[in-house]
Amino acid sequence: MEDGDKGGFDHGILLGDSGYACRPFLLTLYLNPQNDAQERFNRAHGQTRSQIERAFGRLKRRFHVLHSEVRMKPPRVCRIVIACAVLHNICITLGEPEDEDEPDQDQPPQPPYQGQQDGRGVREYVTRHYFSRA
Give the up-direction half-sphere exposure of residue 100: CA atoms within 13 A in the CB hemisphere. 2
What average pLDDT does range 42-62 have in this prediction?
89
pLDDT in tens, 101-123: 433 444 555 556 666 667 788 88
Look up the pTM and report it: 0.58
pLDDT over 90 for what percent of the chain?
31
Task: Decide if 115 contacts 24 (C-beta within 8 A).
Answer: no
Q: Measure the CA–CA gap between 91 and 102, rounded to whole angstroms.
A: 19
pLDDT in tens, 55-90: 888 888 888 888 878 888 999 999 999 999 999 999
- How many angstroms separate the most distant Cα atoms in the chain? 50
